[in-house]
Structure 1
Amino acid sequence: MKYVANSQNNASAVQALVRAALGTELPLRIRCWDGTTAGPPDAPVRLALHRRRALRRLLWAPNELGLARCFVAGDLDVESDFFDSLSQLERVIGSQSGPLEVDRAVKWDMIKSGLRLGAFGLPPKPPAEEIRLGGRLHSKRRDAEAISHHYDVGNDFYALVLGPTMTYSCAVWGEGVESLDDAQIAKVDLVARKLGLDEGKRVLDVGCGWGTFVIHAAKQYGAHAVGVTLSQAQADFARKRVAEEGLSDLVEIRVQDYRDVRDGPFDAISSIGMAEHVGLSMLPTYAKVLYDLLKPEGRLLNHAISRKAGVRGRTGERTSFINRYVFPDGELEPLGVMVDAIEDAGFEVRDVEALREHYALTLRAWVANLETRWADAVRLTSEGRARVWRLYMAASALTFERGSIGVNQVLAVRPSDSGTSGFPRTRTALLS
């Protein structure tokens, strides 16, 4: 026998189901596919369920992955303030892998609500934007697939989100800096000054993205720059920018794994938002390769997101939205782990700067760009892909604001055989 709820009770039954799945009495307002509603109109979280299949997604994965699948597929929308609602939900969402790991009493409540709603059945197919990679973790082939999944979404889409600088990492919002573009230029200039770039110096940018840093290094400092990326779409865009700037004699863009760079030594190496893709097991290799590519007294600037020590990195968990939809195989490590890997390779760490609050501001600016031009974003990719980016960037902004994760610039040097570093005696002189 199939049990289906009376339409007058659908929203109330769904409300009970969602609360059971979340394991909380968080005030919710639910609006169902048939127009029925339940919960206070001024509830801090107001959800609209457009399709009954959303319930099957939640029954099979009552966690962040289930909710993310609902949102990406368009089965669920947030009708209250997006940032505030995510903040409320993140406080109560666990990382269970499915209903078999839910408390027995909670499971029974879910079953009763599901019966009333006729929600039982096989799990719906995940949205097309979800990915699970095969092959050996952090092999060159798998790393290339992971990078392609995230970065080959379309250059026009990224231009819409990132703005004219096409810079996809934490900006630096100094005193008086109000625009995203100015903050991003301030960031790449900060990196160039920390690396001590000037005319004739040779710099390698690992994970060069769309070429903003290498163009700035050549145009403003006269450096010879090599940028490497695993994304063909990024490389094509960057090469076009380089040619338009008249910098082809100073800048080279390659589609190349950093492990395959053979034409060192370089005077400096920048790695801006790339180390998160390396993985803990490969950090020693990563640091040693970069060390070997530098001249004595050559500098490394490693700009990377970090997690708190003692807190598990969630990017690799099987119920992680980030791992399935955004950064497959991405791994965040504590700052100390990154510093240890760099020092173990032979570097001397000279300076560390935390930029956590700056990344929260950057992410909010990207979300604003996306929401302002939502119809264009959907046209350029798909509604599902645009939803992925909105969810991940908003949730990430909240995570940085809470201090659950941070972002740091670690400046290190390959000392000469005699131990000299070539660094000025003061930080003021370093940044002048």
Structure 2
Amino acid sequence: MYTMADAAPRLQGLFTQLLGAPLPVRIRAWDGSQAGPPGAPTLVVRNRRALRRLLWKPGELGLARAWVAGDLDIEGDLYATLDLLAGLVWERGEDARTLAQALRDPEVRSAVRGLVKLAGSPLPPAPPPEEARSPRRHLHTKRSDRRAISHHYDVGNDFYEIVLGPSMVYSCAYWPTPDSTLEQAQHDKLELVCRKLGLKPGQRLLDVGCGWGSMALHAAREHGVAVVGVTLSQEQAAYARKRVADEGLTDKVEIRVQDYRDVRDGPYDAISSIGMAEHVGAERYLDYATDLHALLVPGGRLLNHQIARRPQRDETTYSVDAFIDSYVFPGGELQPVGSTVTQLERAGFEVRDVESIREHYALTLRRWVTRLETDWARAARLTSPGRARVWRLYMAASAVAFERNRIGVNQVLAVRTPESGTSGLPLRAREWTESERS
């Protein structure tokens, strides 16, 4: 029998038995008991339902469901806690074979039985309503992509204003210094993209996945180009069109609710794809690259800004991140940067520059988390407490992942080089950076 105030020490012991290592955080359980390293961040287990979630979905998805539902919480430094837990959860592996192998260990089976007794009712709790119902296999049809984009982006522009700030740029910023403002860093990122594309007055730019219109506005206002921005989000498009009208740029910028696969009014002099290609999917990536190549004039440039994962020894075992797929980006897939470069070149592009800006994304995400935490009550009211918790965990965990080099982000500059072989790029590499500093 369990006494009224011994749940936390029992959980510490069971998790140590289960994981084969001491849990590096303290635990405070629903009965008020506490256990674990003094001074360490505290994992708050608010009820037995949290254990049932973990038992029914061991690993990341069970933890995510408990977090989103408010069954689990963290007291102390969120980043430090996620960093401590990373090796036990995100870097451990949790596919069916790994779990099956673990359950052959008598110690693991004993720990599971102990958790079952402590958890109480055997029935699985229903997933939080914020969870998306994802198919077993993402086909990335136009219909499924629209649905996935709506799940992530159509949660209210007011909510995104809280997180992103006045720049309304939802991708990695480019920081002059860690102490710079988020707005300055996002301005510098947009300017860097424009310089890499070599934009000049009178040219046409296609902005694929244009979001709330920030890149389109910057390119039209600062570089005098005509821009077509496409998005699948109705809310983004409405917001972007208002910004365009407010700035008096309706003659320069057109915002469409349109799939990039349906763009037929090329050719364009340049294409920007910033934080969009993660939605394409591995099986569709060559088609994506081929479509964009066909939309460019000879000599036209593509700037592909994309998050990348690290390659695995056995790529056949790769599976999408369960939490991200269920709560954040349904259907999103990360590929190694080498795969991206290969597919772009297979489509006919000449890849001329690859710049990793991994550390910049960690800085960006930490600023977004701070903005969310500062206006937490309003953010939760605009969406739901569960949705706000999704965003806090996703952004903080992503920041840790970038810092630990589990994922990266790269700007790949590619050219539709004409048969003459003249790329039109400056003779010296990175001239766009040099000119920016001069």
Aligned length: 427
**2:78 pairs with 1:87:** no
TM-score (norm 2): 0.92
**Cα shift at 1:316:** 7.7
1:413/1:421 contact within 8 Å kept = yes
Aligned residue among 52, 58, 80 for 2:54: 58
Q: Structure 2 CA distance, aligned partners of 1:377 and 1:200?
A: 41
Q: State the shift of 1:324 in Å.
A: 1.1
Q: CA contact under 8 A between 1:315 and 1:330: conserved in structure 2? A: no
1:312-370 deviations in Å (ceiling 9; x for gaps): 78998376211111111111111111111111111111111110111111011111111
Tell me what 2:34 maps to. Answer: 37
2:94 to 63, 72, 96: 96
The answer to whether structure 1 residue 68 and structure 2 residue 69 are counterparts is: no
1:347-386 superposed matches below 5 A:
347-386=349-388
Quote the offset at 1:298 in angstroms: 0.6
The answer as to whether partners of 2:6 and 2:31 remain within 8 angstroms in 1 is no
Query: Which whole-Å CA distance do the structure 2 matches of 1:122 and 1:176 have between them?
Result: 48
Specify the code of the residue in structure 1 equivalent to 2:422: T
Which residue type is aligned with residue 126 of structure 2? K
The answer to whether the 8 A contact 2:138-2:331 is kept is no
Question: Is 1:271 aligned to 2:273, yes or no?
Answer: yes
Residue 140 of structure 2 aligns to which amino acid in structure 1? H
The code of the aligned residue for 1:58 comes to: L
Counterparts in 2 of 1:309-328, with a 5 A limit? 309-310=311-312, 317=319, 320-328=322-330
| Secondary structure of the structure 2 residue equivalent to 1:197 | coil
Deviation at 1:48, TM superposition (A): 1.1
SS at match of 1:416: coil
TM-fit CA distance, 1:307: 1.4
Per mean C-alpha deviation after superposition, the further-off stretch among 105-114 and 141-150 is: 105-114
**Within-5 A mapping of 1:2-401:** 5-42=2-39, 44-93=40-89, 94-96=92-94, 102-103=102-103, 104-105=105-106, 106-115=108-117, 117-134=118-135, 137-175=139-177, 178-310=180-312, 317=319, 320-401=322-403
Structure 1 residue identity aligned to 2:94? Q
Q: Which amino acid aligns with 2:417?
A: P
- Structure 2 distance, partners of 1:326, 1:315, is 22
Q: How far is the alpha carbon of 1:114 from its aligned partner?
A: 2.8
Contact 1:229/1:254, CA 8 A, preserved across alignment: yes
SS at match of 1:408: strand
Report the residue type matching 1:289 in the other structure: D
How much has 1:192 moved relative to structure 2? 0.6
Aligned equivalents of 2:33 and 2:430: distance in 1?
A: 63
Aligned equivalents of 1:55, 1:17: Cα separation in 2 = 12
One-letter code aligned to 2:207: D
TM-score (structure 1 length as normaliser): 0.94
Q: Which amino acid aligns with 2:23?
A: L
Deviations 1:16-59 (A, max 9, x none): 333345442124322122222223432x3411111221111111
Change over 3 Å in CA distance of 1:383–1:20 after alignment to 2: farther
SS of the aligned residue for 1:7 comes to coil
In structure 1, distance between residues paired with 2:430 and 2:139: 42
Alpha-carbon distance change, 285 to 113 in structure 1, aligned in 2, over 3 angstroms:
closer
Tell me the alpha carbon deviations over residues 268-306 of structure 1, each in whole angstroms, 9 at most, x when there is no partner: 000000111111111110011000000011110000011
Distance 2:165 2:138 in 1: 35
Distance 1:291 1:5, change over 3 A: same
Q: Is the 8 A contact 1:316 1:329 kept in 2?
A: no
**Aligned partners of 2:349 and 2:74: how far apart in 1?**
48
- Counterpart secondary structure, 2:88: coil
How big is the shift at 1:416? 1.8
Instruction: Give the percent of matched residue pairs that are identical in Structure 1 and Structure 2.
Output: 58
- The 1:261/1:127 distance shift into structure 2, 3 A limit, reads same
Code of the residue aligned with 1:188 in structure 2: it is L
Q: State the alpha-carbon separation in 1 of the partners of residues 183 and 65 from structure 2.
A: 33
- Quote the offset at 1:311 in angstroms: 6.0
C-alpha RMSD of the superposition: 2.1
Question: Contact between 2:25 and 2:81, CA under 8 Å: does it hold in 1?
Answer: no
Shift of 1:176: 8.1
- Deviations 1:208-233 (Å, cap 9, x if unpaired)? 01100000000111110000011111
- Distance in 2 (CA, whole Å) between partners of 1:401 and 1:252 is 37
2:88 counterpart letter in structure 1: V
* Letter matched to residue 35 of structure 1: G
Bigger drift between 119-128 and 97-106 goes to 97-106
Instruction: Determine helix, strand or coil for the equivalent of 1:427.
Output: coil
User: Does the aligned pair in 1 maintain the 2:5–2:31 contact within 8 Å?
Assistant: no
The whole-number CA distance in structure 2 between the counterparts of 1:311 and 1:389 is 31
| Deviation of 1:175 (Å) | 4.5
Deviation for aligned residue 1:120: 4.0
In the alignment, the residues of structure 2 paired with residue 330 and residue 28 of structure 1 have an alpha-carbon distance, to the nearest angstrom, of: 31
Q: Secondary structure at the match of 2:5?
A: helix
Unpaired segments ≥5 residues, structure 1: none
Instruction: Report SS of the residue matched to 1:17.
Output: helix
